[in-house]
Amino acid sequence: MTAAPPTLPVLAIHGTPSMTPTRQIVVGTAGHIDHGKSQLVRALTGVDPDRLKEEKERGITIDLGFASLMLEDGTRVGFVDVPGHERFVKNMLAGVGGIDLVLLVVAADESIKPQTREHFDICRLLRLRHGIIVLTKIDLVEPDLLDLVRLEMREFVAGSFLETAPIVAVSSRTGVGLGDLKAALEAAAAGVSPRPGAGVARLPIDRSFSIKGFGTVVTGTLLAGTLREADELAILPRGLTVRVRGLEVFNRSTREAGPGQRTAVNLQGVEAGAIERGDLLTTPGTLTPSPLLDVELEVLQGAEGPLKDMSRVRFHHGTLEAMARVKLVEGRAVPPGGRSFAQLRLEKPVTTVPGDRFILRRYSPPRTLGGGSILHNRPPKLRATAPGNRERFARLADASPAARLRVLIEEAGAEGLDDPTLRSLTGFDPEESARALAESVQRADVVLLPTSPRRYLAGPEHQDLVRRVVAALQDYHRREPLKEGLAREELRTKIFARSHTDVFRSILAELAGRGTVRLEKDRVALSTHQVRLSAPEAALMERIEVRFKTAGVNPPELDAVVADLKAEARQAEKLFHLLLGRGRLVRIQDGKVFHADALDALKRRLWEKRATSPVIDISEFKDLSGTSRKNAIPLLEHFDAQRITRREGNRRVILPPPDPALPAN
């Protein structure tokens, strides 16, 4: 047995090492520069989250910092400390996307400042549900001023997710109020719902670096799913495949990391320099990056002007920043406080899941404009003149999983969607997806095709394809009453050209099972179709067949037969094809046509010869069959294809017959 790898020196922890956590949450700080966010984290945990040399020299937070704390009730809190300076809001956004609870930090001696407002707006746009208001530096103000700041904060957060949040006053310097804050954290953590542990694993990467003796390490907050040692994972959008060498959660080695945990992942198969902040570590074969996103967005009431159609903006999602153009579904601009549907056209592919929240900031100067939710993570390009755009977006915005799945399946048209693609487009865990699909199938909104993997068609699309198949066959039988049926390939290209092959096969099998159509070799016919010949037609067809039958393995050309019989060419050709369709005549590889009885008789002679010698060359075959070299070669190639013979150099090996009653030795 190999020893477990040593602990990675990645995530610091402060607390009781032997205690097993009852729950684990990620808490982020938010607030204006120099309002004491980092000092507060240090006072709570004993760990300085400012890890960069420049941060320590300048006394400000520039990038994300991390620490953790075990509360008395067993709650383990992972802190993500974010920078407060307006120049580093993009770093703040990279940290706040994965948090469960926010500490909105306001210095009692300064009250509400610009980045207090911007950070609070970002938290609201991301739809955070839990938080605590922390008034810091209370040792610098009189009680009356502290009471005034409390009132200002209550007015500031009125109507928001922090409206009833506790306001805790602390001094990081003296330690006053820290016990109250820990108690407030315990109470707030109890209300945080656990994240889904099933389904697609998603860890937005906020750091990537190399540690001597370990190799590449990435860190982030696991948003959903589970990571385990030895898992094979993908890094998107780079398309890299990696394997998990080791895992740490809050500086503790573990074999498994769950959703909502600050996680360090030691990876095999990739260099640290090949990974950047904003990349996603995820379950392979599930999510697909896309440069297009359908979204519902809102513009902040306090935004500096409207959001105009085709504006270039900064798109923030998880730990990612990317440039994008905003194509509005309606109108030329969205005013401050307004909402709209839009398609984001990104300058690089991004990996998202419907329902994810995002932030939009102006390109220059970078100011927060608004945000919203992702409706479709791999949409078709929006055509402004296409009818029904708004209705389509409104349906996607429906919170019902079944409704969302129906829209996606409808959009797939005759191609349908299979299970893996649906998971990629929705991010639903398997159980949720199965429930939603079962509901839609039961209501006949969606049809399940018995393929592997399972494929789904919209109910109306399925009905339309069935209708078109029946109509095409009716039309064909009307035009070609003397033909047994329409060639399958012709039917496929006529109706199913844009369908997956599984859709074509499934619908034909379904119609055959119902008794609607008849499948014969490479042809399809309505079950009610019967070729009805007049007496003269039947007589002519019999005469044509006799000519081929009596010719044996030296068949005539159809033109010669028609001339000899003094028949009408078009009618004779139709009857000739009817004989082919019924299997009385057989067309072999080079186009020559033989009577089926002649081929059967020749096969029997080959098997009889096998009793004395299983090998035959062309000269022997000519003598055996009584035909010319011109016919012998295509006949042997036909028998090769039928597995009657097998070519070995210039000779053929005669294979045993499938029917043991026939001579084999």
What domains appear along the chain, each with residue ranges and CATH number?
23-190 (3.40.50.300), 202-282 (2.40.30.10), 290-394 (2.40.30.10), 398-518 (1.10.10.10), 535-654 (1.10.10.10)
Spatial separation of the C-alpha atoms in residues 330 and 323, rounded to whole Å: 22
* Residue 250 confidence (pLDDT): 77
More confident residue, 187 or 54: 187
Spatial separation of the C-alpha atoms in residues 636 and 651, rounded to whole Å: 10
Model confidence band, residue 61 (pLDDT cutoffs 50, 70, 90):
low
What's the chain's Rg over C-alpha atoms?
A: 37
124 by DSSP, 3-state: which? Answer: helix
CB 81 within 8 A of CB 67: yes
* Residue 664 confidence (pLDDT): 46
Model confidence band, residue 130 (pLDDT cutoffs 50, 70, 90):
very high
Mean per-residue pLDDT, 39-65: 66
* Residue 15 confidence (pLDDT): 37
Burial of 609 (0-12, 13-18, 19+ CB in 10 A): middle
pLDDT in tens, 181-204: 999 999 999 999 887 666 789 999
Residue listed under structure tokens 């990996």 = 351
* Residue 150 confidence (pLDDT): 97
Of 190-199, 416-425, 514-523, the least confident: 190-199
Buried b (16+ CB within 10 A) or exposed e, 610-619: beeebebeee
> Residues of the chain with pLDDT > 90: what percent?
61
CB 272 within 8 A of CB 214: no
Model confidence band, residue 665 (pLDDT cutoffs 50, 70, 90):
very low
More confident residue, 2 or 436: 436
Residue 560, φ and ψ in degrees, nearest 5: -65, -40
Residue listed under structure tokens 């948090």 = 99
More confident residue, 439 or 341: 341
CB 44 within 8 A of CB 181: yes
pLDDT in tens, 374-412: 999 999 999 887 788 898 899 888 767 888 888 899 989
* Residue 5 confidence (pLDDT): 43
| Residue 86 reports pLDDT greater than 80 | no
| Residue 16 reports pLDDT greater than 50 | no
| Residue 534 reports pLDDT greater than 90 | no
Buried b (16+ CB within 10 A) or exposed e, 532-561: eeeeebeebbeebbebbbeebbebeebeeb
* Residue 60 confidence (pLDDT): 45
DSSP code of residue 65: E
Residue listed under structure tokens 């209370």 = 138
* Residue 57 confidence (pLDDT): 44
Nearest C-alpha neighbor of 320 from the set 202, 148, 191, 493: 202
Mean per-residue pLDDT, 173-181: 96
How far, in Å, are 176, 372, 409, 424, 436 from residue 399 at the CA level?
45, 14, 16, 18, 12
Spatial separation of the C-alpha atoms in residues 382 and 292, rounded to whole Å: 9
Model confidence band, residue 84 (pLDDT cutoffs 50, 70, 90):
low
What is the pLDDT of the chain when averaged over all its residues?
88
* Residue 11 confidence (pLDDT): 43
Model confidence band, residue 8 (pLDDT cutoffs 50, 70, 90):
low
* Residue 56 confidence (pLDDT): 45
* Residue 549 confidence (pLDDT): 93
> What is the CA 480 to chain-centroid distance, rounded?
45
* Residue 87 confidence (pLDDT): 63
Of 117-131, 572-586, 598-612, the least confident: 572-586
Q: How many CB atoms lie within 10 A of CB 569?
A: 11
| Residue 260 reports pLDDT greater than 70 | yes
> Residues of the chain with pLDDT > 70: what percent?
92
| Residue 508 reports pLDDT greater than 60 | yes
* Residue 557 confidence (pLDDT): 87
* Residue 22 confidence (pLDDT): 66
Spatial separation of the C-alpha atoms in residues 628 and 635, rounded to whole Å: 10
Nearest C-alpha neighbor of 204 from the set 184, 183, 218: 218
Nearest C-alpha neighbor of 21 from the set 68, 79, 73, 99: 73
Mean per-residue pLDDT, 440-468: 94
CB 595 within 8 A of CB 555: yes
How far, in Å, are 143, 612, 613, 630 from residue 643 at the CA level?
98, 19, 17, 21
